[in-house]
Amino acid sequence: MNILILGIGNILFQDEGIGAHFVHYLDEKYTFKSKKSKVTIIDGGTLAQRLIPEIIKYDEVIIIDCIDANNAKAGDVYFFDYNAMPNCVNWQGSAHEVEMLQTLKMIDMNQDLPFTKILGIIPKRVADDTTFELSEEIQSSIITMENSIKNYLKLFDVEMYVKKMDTYIANIAEISYKRDIINGPYL
């Protein structure tokens, strides 16, 4: 199984960047091992439609992004199938130039969409000020996000092993703009 973990978000707008920051966090903290599956991590930023050629290469895709939901509070985490989106979830209106939801719909119309899961989190602050700082609510939800990914990947015989224990999302958010997951930190 060829699995993509894709972080989406504009890192300039506080909590809006959590998807991008979170994939850097996963890459820094964990090693993914499996005899049957391969995991690739990509920071998709706000590329949306430009990610289509990459997304269609995979069997499974996990997208991490901000969402909105009825009666939700900042830091709430939702993990759902793209094709079974809960009625309470609204996955539109972020600070992305083109919405990821629209991009997935385009791929789906062409019948090229891999099985897709959404790991969505409710942001507290979006575009109040240009900063890489994440709200406490988002930082407190990281363990739930990690566990969601770990438990799902176990279905594909993928284990996540800690390679760097002292990894914190707040620190990663401050430097993720300097990182290229494929090639390592920018110099």
Q: Please report the pLDDT score of residue 46 as a whole number.
A: 84
State the pLDDT at residue 173.
Answer: 86
Is the separation of the CB atoms in 26 and 181 below 8 Å?
A: no
Binned average pLDDT, 10 residues per bin, the chain of 187 residues: 94 89 95 97 88 94 93 95 89 60 88 94 78 90 98 97 93 77 45
pLDDT of residue 81: 95
Identify the pLDDT of residue 179: 63
Domain 2-176 listed as CATH 3.40.50.1450: yes
Question: What pLDDT shows up at residue 158?
Answer: 98
- Residue 128 has a pLDDT of 63
Q: Which tokens belong to 167?
A: 């990894």
Contacts of 174-180 spanning 24+ positions with Cβ under 8 A = 174/132, 174/133, 176/11, 176/17, 176/20, 176/21, 176/24, 176/43, 176/132, 177/11, 177/132, 179/24, 179/27, 179/43
3-class secondary structure, 183: coil
Q: DSSP string spanning 15-69?
A: GGGHHHHHHHHHHHHEEEE-SS-EEEEEEEET-GGGGHHHHTT-SEEEEEEE-EE
Phi, psi of 88 (to 5 degrees): -75, -10
CA angle 32, 34, 39 (to 5 degrees): 50
Length of the chain in terms of residues written: 187
For residue 135, the model assigns a pLDDT of 92
Dist. CA 103–CA 126, nearest whole Å: 21
